[in-house]
Amino acid sequence: MSYEVASVRKMTEDNLKTAFAGESQAHMRYLIFAKRAEAEGFHNVARMFIAISYAEQVHASNHFNALGLLRGSTDNLQMAIEGETYEVNEMYPAFNAVAQLQEEKGAVQTINFALQAEKIHASMYEKAKQAVEMSKDIQLGSVYICDVCGYTVEGEAPDRCPVCGASGEKFKKF
């Protein structure tokens, strides 16, 4: 009996992880679709995509919480550091090698864009974790993200993105 209970629990956990991934992807996909619909002048279609994207985010959040994966800020920052570090050291280098081997220039470019940004993200999370471990909030100025490649910088946006060369006007301020 205990084997069956453990098996069912594992199956439910796997199902929730799959559902979380699917809902997360739908959330992002619908935001991307909304941006295109807006650019094409379909404002209500864009609004619909944005609204349903939010519902998908709610679903993903509920699944994440049911999995018990939401922790305190220190643990959450450590999980973020581990995720970014994995992308920098393992995932993107392996993906890049395959894309180069297959001469997929678009894939090489987008992988490089992400890799460069993830290095910065890991560093930012490390700084934040150090502050939180001392029961302090991080000192953080304006954060600018390049709308073309995702390059991230604290302070002021550069005149030109050092990764993709986009103009400073392409940076979104947070």
Q: What is the residue-level pLDDT of the chain in tens, covering all 174 positions?
A: 555 656 658 999 999 999 999 999 999 999 999 999 999 999 999 999 999 999 999 999 999 999 999 999 999 999 999 999 999 999 999 999 999 999 999 999 999 999 999 999 999 999 999 999 999 999 999 999 999 999 999 999 999 999 999 999 999 999
- 171: domain range? 141-174
**Residue 161 and residue 128 in one domain:** no
CB atoms within 10 A of CB 94: 11
CATH code for position 44: 1.20.1260.10
Please state, as a whole number, how many other Cβ atoms lie within 10 Å of the Cβ of residue 20.
20
**CA dihedral for 91, 35, 147, 79, sign (positive or negative):** negative
For residues 127 and 157, state if they share a domain. Answer: no
For the chain, the 3-state helix, strand and coil shares in percent, each to the nearest 5, are 70, 5, 20
118 and 170 fall within a common domain:
no
Domain boundary residue, one of 32, 66, 100: 66
Total count of domains within the chain = 3
Beta strands of 31-170 (E only): which ranges? 143-146, 152-154
Statement to judge: residues 121 and 165 lie in one domain:
no
- 61 C-beta neighbours (distance < 10 Å), count: 15
Could you tell me the two tokens for 78? 């450590």
Q: Same domain for 49 and 86?
A: no
| Residues 127 and 155 placed together within one structural domain of the fold | no
- Whether residue 151 sits in one domain with residue 165: yes
pTM for the whole structure: 0.86
> Residue 147 maps to which CATH number?
2.20.28.10
61 and 75, same domain (yes or no)? no
Three-class SS state of 148: coil
- Say if residue 12 is in the same domain as residue 47: yes
